[in-house]
Amino acid sequence: MENIPVAGPWITEKEIAYVTDAVTNAWYSNANMYHQRFEKAFAEYIGVQYAMALPSCTSAIHLSLLALGIGPGDEVIVPDCTWIASAAPISYVNATPVFADIDPKSWCISAKSFEECITPRTKAVIPVDLYGNMPDMDALREIAAKHNIAIIEDAAEAIGSTYKGKKAGSFGVTGVYSFHGSKTLTTGEGGILLTDRKDLYDRISFLRDHGRAPGNATLFYNSEVAYKYKMSSMQAALGLAQLERIDELIAKKRETFKWYYERLGNIDGITMNSEASDVFNSYWMVTIILDPKFGIKKEALQEKLGLQNIATRPFFHPLSSLPAYQNLPQAGHAHERNEVSYALSPYGVNLPSALNLTESQVDFVCQSVKQIIQG
């Protein structure tokens, strides 16, 4: 039986040509040529002033928190259901993560829960554009502005998504993307940080290069102990080639969702990714949530699909439920507070959404899902 992967990229001759050119020519005085092209093109695509290519999205969140001066005693609100990379950097700076509930439709942070989590210590919120969907950005921005809270938008999963016509990654003081191999646009490993604020961009340029100002990089004169967070030119070349094909990549994601929706969208008891009227969802991961009436939890569904060589992922476990966060004072309380996270997560599974998926593979996956839920 063939293996059906859950995620993976779409690489063409263009990517191979760009990476080959980078490894051949991006040295000496041309060492940064692909970074410059990639960062400029990415900033233009999203519609922001500044973009900085980085080794990961995790490092982009870390730098965002550092540049905002967030540290011990501060609280940062993050949705309970997301990849741990959204939250881990809060601990890197010795601040405290506070887990807010998700919205039952968009599966992104609930504006109401965000507001309820605010305390005098809250310095930032990290909304996540989960699986390509968008949270209620107008409500989040209004609440954040009222309480003077910085927004760091984690758009890692949402390249191409829009909210009221504005691109994911452009809603915060910083926006961050991941180019991990599972993401829609990949550089193997990698990420990017976006901002319109020159002061933050300058501070981040300094922090990511061992505390050297860009102008004095040749002086080896470090004024603070900082970090080394850089992308290689081969990765930047790969990212540029992928970005030049971005419409094609997003169209494939949308088509994949449509194939699934045609087969599973009308089945009673299956909920799929939503798309509100003011949102364009780039559907990074096609996801189903089963009604508890079937009595099938995500692990059981994953195991049964696995027997057919169908790879899946669990809907993110609430972070507040993970061993990693059991020593946080409020982790225990999040269970009662975050009803939606705890109700949906046990029954959610990401179905194969790799960019090389065929319609007949989707057909096979959907037939398998239907057989499993019909017992």
Ligand X SMILES: *Cc1c(COP(=O)(O)O)cnc(C)c1O
CB of 83 to ligand X, least distance (A): 4
**Residue 86 vs 361, nearer CB to ligand X:** 86
Q: Which stretch binds ligand X (CB under 6 A): 55-63, 202-210, 212-220, 338-346?
A: 55-63
Could you give the CA distance from residue 156 to residue 153 in angstroms, rounded to a whole number? Answer: 9
Q: What is the largest CA-CA distance in the chain?
A: 69
CB of 179 to ligand X, least distance (A): 7
Q: How many residues make contact with ligand X (CB under 6 A)?
A: 14
Burial tier of 334 (Cβ tally within 10 Å: 0-12, 13-18, 19+): buried
Q: Which stretch binds ligand X (CB under 6 A): 81-89, 98-106, 161-169, 236-244?
A: 81-89
CB of 66 to ligand X, least distance (A): 15
- 239 binds ligand X, rule: CB under 6 A: no
CB of 314 to ligand X, least distance (A): 13
- 133 binds ligand X, rule: CB under 6 A: no
Residue 1 CB neighbour total at 10 angstroms: 8
Could you give the CA distance from residue 364 to residue 287 in angstroms, rounded to a whole number? Answer: 16
Binds ligand X (CB under 6 A): choice among 19, 143, 156, 159:
156
Compose the 166-185 pattern: x for residues touching ligand X by CB under 6 A, - for all others. Answer: ------------x-x-----
Q: Report how far apart, in Å, the C-alpha atoms of 123 and of each of 74, 98, 197 are.
A: 6, 11, 17
CB of 154 to ligand X, least distance (A): 5
**Residue 183 vs 212, nearer CB to ligand X:** 183
- 191 binds ligand X, rule: CB under 6 A: yes
- 83 binds ligand X, rule: CB under 6 A: yes
Q: Which stretch binds ligand X (CB under 6 A): 39-47, 53-61, 62-70, 337-345?
A: 53-61
User: Is 183 noted as a catalytic residue in this protein?
Assistant: yes
- 86 binds ligand X, rule: CB under 6 A: yes
Could you give the CA distance from residue 163 to residue 146 in angstroms, rounded to a whole number? Answer: 21
Q: Which residues are catalytic?
A: 183
Binding site for ligand X (CB under 6 A): 56-58, 82-83, 85-86, 128, 154, 156-157, 178, 180, 191
